Each structure stands twice: as C-alpha cells, then as structure tokens.
Amino acid sequence: MFQGIRTLIVALTAIVALGVSSTARADSGSVRISFIKAGWVIGGSVGSGTMTFRGRTYPLSIGGLSYGLTFGGSATELHGRVSNIFRPSDIEGVYGAAGAGATVIRGPQAIVLTNQKGAVLEVSGRQTGLMINLDLAGMALTLK
C-alpha cells in the first residue's frame, strides 16, 4: 500500500514540476504596431510593426476585418508588450475582440488580446481620425 502511495506522490510531483518548468520558460517581448482602419458596416485594417524578443527585432504584418456598426477611418499607433511566448512565431495568429468606441480627431486606445497559441498582447497608444464603431473584429499578426 505504501509503495502505491509513494508512486502516486512521485507521479504528481513530476506533473507539477513539468507544469511549472514550461510556464517558467515562457517569455515576453515589446511590440510596436501601426495600422489604418476604414469601413462602412464592414471594416478592414492593414498595417505593420515590430516585435523585440530576446534582443532581436522581428518585422510584423497586420491585417484584419470587422463587422457591425463601423463608420469612418483612422490611423492607430500602439505599443506595449506580448507575453506568454516561447519563440517569435508564437505571436502569429488571429486576435479577436468585441469593441465599441469613437474617435474624433484623436483619442486614446488600450486593449488586451489573446491568440490561439496563448500569446497575450497588452498595447496602448493613440488613434487619429474619425471612427465610430460597435463591432466584432479580428486582427491577424504574422512575421514578415
């Protein structure tokens, strides 16, 4: 009986150690992105940016679609960080959000998004233009 309990404790300890070690290796980097968004009911965005991760800088491409109440056009510049990544390609993916906002001439922006790989983008900055939106949006980031 004691042999079975000891085996169970060793197995549970190994599982916990694996979970902690994989989390400990996750890293973060800094991100700068800029994009242009325009639309009338259906909106689109296109842009570029950079990610600095473990001392290297990687160029990014940005594209996206939104659907809902979307009217106008804007230019947005955001900076912040990406976390919970193990390698540069983990930033790639689709980040989805439901949003509401209005920008007349200039307004602040802040958003937290997660992709299917678990990467978390926390960015803020400013939006310039005339944009009113209440929509569902998706933004795809890829390494160039």
User: Is 101 part of a structural domain of the chain?
Assistant: yes
Report yes or no on 18 lying in a domain. Answer: no
Domain holding 101, by residue range, is 26-143
Residue 13 domain flag: no
Give the span between the Cα atoms of 11 and 112, in whole angstroms.
36
Q: Is the residue at 70 inside a domain?
A: yes
The domain that holds 61 is classified in CATH as 2.40.128
In a domain, 11, yes or no: no
Q: What is the pLDDT along the chain (144 residues), one digit of tens a residue?
A: 666 666 656 655 655 555 544 445 779 999 999 999 888 878 888 999 999 999 999 999 999 888 777 788 889 899 999 999 999 999 999 987 766 666 667 777 778 888 999 999 999 888 888 877 776 677 899 998
88: in domain: yes
Q: Which three-class secondary structure state does DSSP give residue 1? A: coil
* 9 within a domain of the structure (yes/no): no
- Is residue 67 one of the residues assigned to a domain? yes
Within 10 angstroms of residue 123's Cβ, the number of other Cβ atoms is 21
Which of 5, 48, 52 lies closest to 28 in space, CA to CA?
52
Can you give the pTM of this predicted structure? Answer: 0.74
Q: How many domains does the chain have?
A: 1
